[in-house]
Amino acid sequence: MLTKQRKAPLIKYTGFQIGSLTKPLIATLAMKMYSEGKIDIYQPIQDYLPNELIPNSSIPITLAHLLSHSSGLPKNL
pLDDT in tens, 62-71: 888 888 877 6
Q: Are 62 and 41 in contact (CB under 8 A)?
A: yes
Q: Degrees (nearest 5) of the Cα angle 46, 49, 52?
A: 80
pLDDT in tens, 17-63: 777 778 888 899 999 999 999 999 999 888 887 767 676 667 788 88
Residue 4 clears pLDDT 90, i.e. is over it? no
DSSP 54: S
Element (H or E) spanning 65, and its range? helix 63-67
Q: What is the pTM of this model?
A: 0.60
DSSP 5-44: TT--B--TT-----GGGHHHHHHHHHHHHHHTTS--TTSB
